[in-house]
Structure formats: C-alpha cells, structure tokens
Amino acid sequence: MDHLRRMAHPETVGDDLLWRRIAAFVADEVGVPRGRVCWSTRLLGDLGVDGMDAHNLMERFAAEFHVDLGEYEHDRYFGPEAGTNPVAFLWMVLVNLLAPTPEQAAGLRPLTIGDLAAAASAGRWMPPRRTMAPDRVEAAVYRVLEDLAVPPAEARRHESSMLDLLWDEDITLGFIPDVQELLGIDVPLEEWERVQTVGEVIEMLRAHADAQRGAAGATAGNR
C-alpha cells in the first residue's frame, strides 16, 4: 500500500485544490502550522475554535471563498464565549475530561475542513449530512479503528483516507485481521489494496458479508 501514501487526499470537492486552500486559510487564521490541518480536522475538537472566534472565522471564510451562509446555524457547531464564573469554568473542564470529544461534551455537531470545502464548492452553506446508526459492518470498522487509537469522529468519516488514520503496518497487521475476525469473513489482499477510504473499506466488507450470507442461505435451502 506504499503507493497510496504518495497520493493526494481522495476527498476533493469540485476544485482538486479547494480543500487544501481552505485548510491553509484556516491554519493561518487560527495560528497553527499548516501541516496540522487536514480534511477531517474539526474546528472545535481539534483546533479549539469556539465562541466569537469561531463566528469571526466563519465570516472571513464566507468572504474569502464566496459562500452564502444564509442557512448556517452557528450554535449547532460552536458554543458561546467562555464566561468568567469560576464554578462554571470548572464544570466545563470536568465535562470535557469525561466526554470523548469537545463537541459531544457540549452537545454540538463537529464541523470539519471537509464541510467547509463542500460549502465553498456549492457557494452556499451545506449542512453536514446526518448519519444513521451504523450497521454491523460499519460498527465493526469503527470499533477496530477506535481500538487502534483513531479518534471516533475521524473513524466515522467515510471520506477519511485509511493511510491518514493509520500506518501501513497498523492496517496490515492490526486493522485487517481484526475486522475480518469480527465479521467472520476473509477478503483477498488484492482487494484490500484497491480501497483507500473508510467508506470504500465498508462497502467492500459489506459486499463480502452479503455474499457470505447469500451462500449460507443457499446451502441451508438445499438441505
């Protein structure tokens, strides 16, 4: 899979360079190294952008990339400015320590560079898609990725590149055998080499799981 690491992100929207331009813009606005910002980077969860800072960033993003924010609802993705009440501050710290992500701690939806790229490509705000409860295959993929220390929000992004989430050896020696064992299926290595994103992995595993169930049903029907 070494050749995949040399490839650019497959998660481009419209302009092949659009998400990279947005990532560079956000990194410069927030004041972090550009290499720290990728397609799946969350503005709040990963960069700590919140409150009025988030409001100002979104306004500058809309102006820079000509995005109509008419349908954008700020309080769905970001909280208010932190208050000065020390009790409230300590409570916020405790909640953030116990919750898996800052967004979950605050009951907010994560907003990523990929979401900004979708809006910039469309020229208007595109609310991130709501996800349904994962099926058996999705649940197995998410579980193994999270067991390998991939953040839940990134593990659940079907556009995420597997090689952005894990090293080659973690995929071949950890992810592949573990997820196949969970699902009770065996996928040829050449098929694994053809998939790049989390979504492609799920679709491939789903096809094999469906085929296995179909074969089992046919065998039972012949008895």
Residue type, 13: V
Q: Where are the alpha helices (DSSP H) in the chain?
A: 2-5, 18-30, 51-65, 86-98, 102-106, 113-122, 136-147, 152-155, 162-165, 168-170, 176-183, 189-192, 198-221
18 and 101 co-located in one domain: yes
Where among 95, 122, 149 does a domain terminate? 122
User: For residue 117, which of 207, 19, 8 has the smallest C-alpha distance?
Assistant: 19
116 and 36 co-located in one domain: yes
What CATH number corresponds to the domain at position 36?
Answer: 1.10.1200.10
Domain assignment of residue 19, given as a range: 2-122
Distance CA 6, CA 188 (A): 23
pLDDT of residue 133: 45
14 and 106 co-located in one domain: yes
The structural domain count of the chain equals 2
pLDDT of residue 101: 65
Q: Determine, yes or no, domain membership for 173.
A: yes
Where among 78, 97, 122 does a domain terminate? 122
Whether the CB-CB separation of 160 and 122 falls below 8 Å is answered with no
pLDDT of residue 5: 34
16 and 118 co-located in one domain: yes
What CATH number corresponds to the domain at position 143?
Answer: 1.10.1200
Where among 91, 122, 153 does a domain terminate? 122
110 and 212 co-located in one domain: no
Q: What is the pTM of this model?
A: 0.50
6 and 113 co-located in one domain: yes
Mean pLDDT split into 10-residue runs, the chain, 223 residues:
34 58 94 83 87 94 95 88 47 48 73 88 79 67 88 82 90 93 91 92 88 66 58
CB under 8 A, 24+ apart: contacts of 103-106: 103/42, 103/44, 103/45, 103/77, 103/153, 106/44, 106/79
93 and 179 co-located in one domain: no
Q: Determine, yes or no, domain membership for 129.
A: no
92 and 159 co-located in one domain: no
Q: What is the pLDDT of residues 77-124, one digit of tens each?
A: 998 754 444 544 444 454 455 545 666 766 788 888 888 988 998 899
55 and 106 co-located in one domain: yes
Q: Determine, yes or no, domain membership for 9.
A: yes
203 and 165 co-located in one domain: yes
11 and 97 co-located in one domain: yes
